[in-house]
Amino acid sequence: MTGLLLSPAALEAYGDEIASVAADTRLSLAIVPLPVDPNDRLGAAELAGIDLAYFSADVFPERSRQFFAAAQGAPNLRWMQLQNVGVDEPVFGRLLAKGVRLTTSAGATAEPIAQTAIAGVLALARDLPRLAQAQRRRVWEPGWEEDVPPRDLRGQTMVVVGLGAIGSEIARIARVLGLHVVGVRRSPARPDDPVDELHPPAALHALLPQADWLVLAVPLTEDTRGLIDARAIALLPDGARVVNIARGAVIEEDALITALEDGQLAGAYLDVFEVEPLPADSPLWALPNVIVTPHNSSAARGNVARITAIFLDNLGRWARGEALRNEARA
């Protein structure tokens, strides 16, 4: 018998589909439900019966502590499906170190995140933050400083660092808008890459001087932490703009703020920050050329269905002994 740790909400919503996958694959499955009361904990016998776990979207954030207490206390846990994309939180490192296989929901939120990032690009390109400020002041300001209107987006260069599902979708839409898209990725080129050029990470500094737009879409790792530091920012051309939907620690925030304040950078769309929630005294809140969103670029009604579809597919793969989708590495 294979035990699956599951939240009560996920069991109610997807219990029939989980049972169908188990029946189709002849997997003898027993559900170990997370206690309904968030303060309750599973007993030793129940923990010993957990082989698999589904960290579903309904668990985060209110019941995360309860869920991971159970997962870390389960001596026989072998695989966990995550509702999130990144595995940079310490608890995931601890599970990987214990030999637990982790699979993410990479790709499930790629479209909404990419659409939000492109919305940020369009808003900055069309000077919407300034026009929104004029609206709040009830002032009619159809012109621009020095009578210089915005540049055409077509023909500008966007450097996208990270070409996973999210970065690739951003690149695809950007090319539709007429931008020249340069991708930065460790793995070699593929025929369906939605970029005009592809370069390895070692070429990043050489690429930055041509970037009208720098888009960060990489996971947070030891290699990407502080990737865009003061030196990298200084390599960007005057008037460049930055989009970060990766992790706040990928860019040195103080250096970014300085470049925005002194005018080297023309603007930024930021969904992630070094400290979250973003402190009330952060200069980023008040900078007129910055759009701040509270780490919610992925929000969309269809996410839960897409995430669950990945879990159900992986559950079938697990039962059949096949390779799992989106498996994280220690």
- The first and second tokens of residue 2, run together, are 């294979």
Residue 261: is its pLDDT beyond 80?
Answer: yes
Percent of the chain with pLDDT over 70: 100
In angstroms, the CA 84 to CA 222 distance is 19
- H helix and E strand count, the chain: 11, 12
Residue 63: is its pLDDT beyond 80?
Answer: yes
Spot the catalytic one: 78, 130, 199, 295: 295
How far, rounded to the nearest angstrom, does the alpha carbon of residue 202 sit from its chain's CA centroid? 23
CATH 3.40.50.720 maps onto the chain at 2-108+301-320, 110-292
Under CATH, which architecture does the 110-292 domain have? Answer: 3-Layer(aba) Sandwich (3.40)
**CATH class of the domain at 2-108+301-320:** alpha beta
pLDDT of residue 200: 98
The pTM assigned to this predicted structure is 0.91
pLDDT of residue 330: 73
Spot the catalytic one: 111, 241, 247, 252: 247
Residue 2: is its pLDDT beyond 80?
Answer: yes
pLDDT for 145-188, tens place per residue?
Answer: 888 999 999 999 999 999 999 999 999 999 999 999 999 999 99
Q: How far is CA 176 from CA 4, 48, 118, 181, 253, in A?
A: 43, 52, 11, 10, 31
Give catalytic status of residue 180 as yes or no: no
pLDDT of residue 145: 83
In angstroms, the CA 100 to CA 261 distance is 45
Whose CA is closest to 121, among 271, 9, 295?
271
Give catalytic status of residue 145 as yes or no: no
pLDDT of residue 57: 93
Residue 270: is its pLDDT beyond 90?
Answer: yes
Spot the catalytic one: 276, 320, 322, 327: 276
| Mean local confidence (pLDDT), 102-110 | 97
In angstroms, the CA 88 to CA 278 distance is 19
In angstroms, the CA 36 to CA 10 distance is 12
pLDDT for 205-259, tens place per residue?
Answer: 999 999 999 999 999 999 999 999 999 999 999 999 999 999 999 999 999 999 9
The answer to whether 310 and 108 have CB atoms below 8 angstroms apart is: yes
Residue 262: is its pLDDT beyond 90?
Answer: yes
Give catalytic status of residue 41 as yes or no: no
- The first and second tokens of residue 330, run together, are 């220690």
In angstroms, the CA 307 to CA 70 distance is 21
| Mean local confidence (pLDDT), 100-105 | 98
